[in-house]
Amino acid sequence: MALPTISDIARVTADTEIRYTQSGKAVAQTRLAFNKSKYNEQTRQWENDKTFFIDGTTWEDAAERAGQQLMKGVEVYVTGELETQQWEKDGDKRSKPSLTIRRFKVIPKTDQQPPQQSGYGHQGQSAPPQGDPWASGGDPMDSPPF
C-alpha cells in the first residue's frame, strides 16, 4: 500500500536548513504552511481560513536546490508523500506528520498590479504598439517582416 501523496501550493515559513548524512548525502528540512482561503464578501478579499503546518524533507540533488531556492516567504508548488515521524522523549511516545518532498517548483512573485481591462465593455480603440509590424493587421498574404 502506498503512502498518501499531496500536490499543492505552500508557503515556506523559515529558511531551509541543509545537513549531510555520514555518507555525504544532502538532506534539506523545510517548514511549510498550506493555507485554505475563503472569500470575505464584506471586504471583497480572499482571507486565510485555516493553515496546516508541516516539516518537509528533501534529499540529495533536490535538497541542494531546496537550500538555494526555498527561503522564508517563498511560495512553492510541492509534491510529496505524507508520513508519520515517531520518536520517544522522556518515556513518552510522540509523533507528527511530515512530508517527503519528491518535486518542487518555486512560484515566481508577481507584481500586485490592477488587472488589465479586457476587451469586454472596452470603449474606443488602442493604438497598435509601435515597431510591431504584425499589429497593424495588414493583408494575410503579406510576407513576414523578416
One CATH from 2.40.50.140, 2.60.20.30, 3.40.50.2300, 1.10.10.350 for 5-106: 2.40.50.140
Percent with pLDDT over 70 in the chain: 75
State residue 71's pLDDT score.
96
Rounded distance between C-alpha atoms, residue 72 and residue 92, angstroms? 32
State residue 61's pLDDT score.
94
Q: What is the mean pLDDT of residues 63-74?
A: 96
Instruction: Give the domain ranges of the chain.
Output: 5-106
Task: State the average pLDDT for the chain.
Answer: 83
* Amino acid identity for residue 117 in this structure: Q
Q: What is the length of the chain? A: 146
Strands (E), 13-129: 17-20, 26-40, 45-59, 75-89, 92-106
Residues 6+ apart with CB under 8 A from 145: 133, 134
90-123 pLDDT tens trace = 999 999 999 999 999 999 987 654 444 444 444 4
Q: What is the mean pLDDT of residues 20-45?
A: 94
- Residue (of 62, 63, 56) closest to 6 by Cα position: 56
Given a cut of 70, is residue 132 above it in pLDDT? Answer: no
Look up residue 39 and give its three cell numbers.
472569500
Given a cut of 70, is residue 144 above it in pLDDT? Answer: no
Rounded distance between C-alpha atoms, residue 9 and residue 105, angstroms? 9
